[in-house]
Amino acid sequence: MMLRIISIVFPIFAIVAVGYLYGRRKQPEMAILNQLIMDIFAPALIFFVLARREFEPEQYLSLAVAGIAVMLGSGLLSYPLARRLDFDWRTFVPPMMFTNYGNLGLPLFVLAFGDSALSAAVVLFVAGNFLHFTLGRYLLDHTVHPVTLFRTPIFLASISGLLFALMQWHLPKAIEFPIEMLGQVAIPLLLFSLGVRLTKFDWHDWKIGVIGAIVCPAVGVVTALVVTVIVDLPELQTRQLMLFGALPPAVLNFLFAEQFTQEPRKVASIVVIGTLSSIVIIPVMLTVILP
């Protein structure tokens, strides 16, 4: 079991480490690469997974609902804790709700559960992004209109992929293959980009970071346990939801905090320390959920 867990987590954190070391040495400008990931590579991956012949949307509807319930439940549990600790809840609560289902979640699901788990990972990724770009942005700025979500390439790729799946349309191989190749670029680039992004953060406000690193997987796993009692999921999806609940805060929380001037340095500490703590938390969770 230990060798199996090492084989799962080592490739992930090795690529993150390469990105971190390269970022420390070269200090590359990642804005263009991140834009390519969000506009080209990640949408291509989502569309390919949702539109391929093997994907059956009805099998993942309950998982999507369960994933949204985990995010909302994590927010409800962390809100009173933020008030008790005298944190600004707009700083503390969103990172507890919106975890790294992209950079870490996609490769982690594939390595832990096999290539067939990519569909489940993408469904949770789409559900998480939908909630983050609507409710998550609204929590930080009530003037943000949810319609902005409908202009993002990830949302358009999700809707297009689901439409292809529901209508059982199939692309010619000559078109499907380059889309698949573009999508395969997304996962390693997401990990590499995460590593580079970690070099941009400092260690100010480390106390809120440590608390966030403990609270985020705790409320996520507790909520996931409750949700699995309420929502009838297959055994494999139950395990996947538990792993989803244990993920650390997403980097996107920092980007939104910076955009809306919501204590970005504190959010950065939550993201950095939460990501580092996942080196321990994820293997522990894998020990519990893997058969």
Cα–Cα distance, 137 to 103 (Å, whole number): 20
CA–CA dist 74, 56 (Å, integer): 28
How far apart are the two ends of the chain, measured CA to CA in Å?
Answer: 9
Which tens digit of pLDDT belongs to each residue from 108-138? Answer: 999 999 988 999 999 999 999 899 988 998 8
Q: Put residue 28 in one of left, alpha, beta given phi > 0 → left and psi -120 to 50 → alpha.
A: beta
Tokens describing residue 98: 């919106």
Query: Looking at residue 127, what is its pLDDT?
Result: 93
Q: What is the pLDDT of residues 54-85, one digit of tens each?
A: 788 889 999 999 999 999 999 999 999 999 99
140-154 pLDDT, tens per residue?
988 877 677 778 899
Residue 50: name the closest of 129, 149, 123, 124 by CA.
123
Query: Percent of the chain at pLDDT above 90?
Result: 66
Q: Chain-wide mean pLDDT for the chain?
A: 91
Both tokens of 23, joined, read: 């970022």
DSSP H helices in the chain: 2-26, 31-36, 42-51, 61-84, 89-97, 105-113, 118-131, 137-140, 153-167, 173-198, 206-230, 235-245, 252-259, 264-289
pLDDT of res. 158: 93
Domain boundaries, the chain: 30-289
Architecture of domain 30-289: Up-down Bundle (1.20)
Tens of pLDDT, residue by residue, the chain (291 residues): 788 888 889 999 999 999 999 999 998 988 888 889 989 999 999 999 999 877 888 899 999 999 999 999 999 999 999 999 999 999 999 999 999 998 889 999 999 999 889 999 999 999 998 999 889 988 998 887 767 777 889 999 999 999 998 888 988 999 999 999 999 999 899 899 888 888 877 677 889 999 999 999 999 999 999 999 999 999 999 999 999 999 999 988 988 888 888 998 899 899 989 999 999 999 999 999 997
DSSP 148: G
What pLDDT is attached to residue 179? Answer: 96
Structure tokens at 84: 């008790």
